Amino acid sequence: MKKLFEMNKILCVLSYLFLVLTIIALIVFVFQLHDMFCYYEGSTFYDLFYNWHFLKFLLIACFSILTLYVAGSQLQKQTDMNCINALVELRKQLTSGCNRDVHFRLLPEQEQRNLPEQESATDNKEYNITPFEKIPMIDIFNYLGTIELGALMVEKELIDMKTFENQMGYRVENIFNGTTDAQIKVRQHIQNERAYYDSLLWIKRKMNL
């Protein structure tokens, strides 16, 4: 995630640099064009294109701008790839470890009916889900914080709103629209500690929840 933010900063700087260099190149081109017309007064524009100095300048200017454009495009692709990798990592975090139990306990009531309890007869821990009452508060902090990272990516314009909604929107809806005891308790926790959940509450407003 840190690498993604760093790449985005670099991309912004290079975008401004590209804009400045493009403006400078255009200004220089206009002045050079004016000077060449003055120097070759009486010559037609067709004649100028047969002048080596004019063609050399034109080729250098076009090549420079093209190089900057290609470099910017490649950096944008790299940033997009880092963004996708960051989203994949966030999804893994939300469905693994302590976040897994919180995620399942915040599902709608009808989807929880088939979830096995930790006290069930099965010995396979992979399928056992800890009851919400036994989930440590630190795990809930961690789960909400992970969703906040996704919301922060939207705030920083690293991803668009549609991408966030496709990847994490239903998790936010489960929290703020749910009617189970777990969902109500988590909402109350967010309300009581709202100072620590700026990004989460911001994305809630953006989703009109």
Q: Each residue of 153-183: pLDDT tens digit?
A: 888 887 888 888 888 888 999 899 888 888 9
Is pLDDT at 202 greater than 60 in this prediction?
Answer: yes
pTM metric for this prediction: 0.62
Tokens representing 109?
């009531």
Tokens representing 46?
């067709």
Q: Annotate 157-206 with DSSP letters as a single string.
A: TSS-HHHHHHHHHHHHHHHHH--SHHHHHHHHHHHHTGGG-HHHHHHHHH
Which has more pLDDT, 148 or 81?
Answer: 148
Is pLDDT at 121 greater than 60 in this prediction?
Answer: no
Using the 8-state DSSP alphabet, how is residue 24 labeled? H
Tokens representing 99?
């976040």
pLDDT at 159: 82
Q: 3-class SS at 41?
A: coil
Which has more pLDDT, 45 or 199?
Answer: 199
Tokens representing 174?
């489960």
Is pLDDT at 113 greater than 70 in this prediction?
Answer: no
pLDDT at 115: 63
pLDDT at 63: 74
Beta carbons of 153 and 83 less than 8 angstroms apart:
yes
CB atoms within 10 A of CB 82: 18
Tokens representing 119?
């006290």
Q: How confident is the model at residue 38 (pLDDT cuts 50, 70, 90)?
A: low
Beta carbons of 178 and 184 less than 8 angstroms apart:
yes
Q: 3-class SS at 45?
A: helix
Is pLDDT at 19 greater than 60 in this prediction?
Answer: yes
Q: What is the pLDDT of residues 86-102, one digit of tens each?
A: 788 888 877 777 788 88
Please give the Cα distance from 203 to 135 (Å, whole number): 25
Beta carbons of 172 and 202 less than 8 angstroms apart:
no
